[in-house]
Amino acid sequence: MISSKIESIIPIQNSNTSYNRSKFTAQEDRQLLILVEIYKFNWKKISIEMKNRSVRQCKERYYHYLSPNINKNDWSHEEDVLLLSSVEKYGKKWKALESLFNNRTEVDIRNRFN
């Protein structure tokens, strides 16, 4: 009983570095955008400034959700048709399908399909 309470408070670490597995907060998103402006995609420096976020977490959060290049408009009928026909032809290869869409991320494509 006590050990389960301790485990819920103290994260189990597989290495010397522990990273937050929780969702990014709005404050972290703002901080990440500012750090990208300052450090110009130097993900190692950015992750150090983000404290409990890894290089991969920072990079993926930016490219999949925060980049100003992401198309955040509603999906058009044409895009839906293209998505369905592309998945039928190529399968659920979201990263590969990304090139067929105008600034849609693999995450957007997968979520739209599902």
Mean pLDDT by 10 residues, the chain (114 residues): 43 48 92 97 96 94 96 96 96 95 95 96
- Name the E strands within the chain: none
d(Cα 88, Cα 99) in Å, to the nearest integer?
Answer: 16
Distance between CA atoms of 35 and 47, rounded to whole angstroms? 9
Cβ neighbours for 45, distance < 8 A, ≥ 6 positions apart: 35, 39
Model pTM score: 0.74
* CB neighbour burial string for 39-66, b if at least 16 within 10 angstroms, e if fewer: eeeebeebbeebeebebebbbebbeeeb
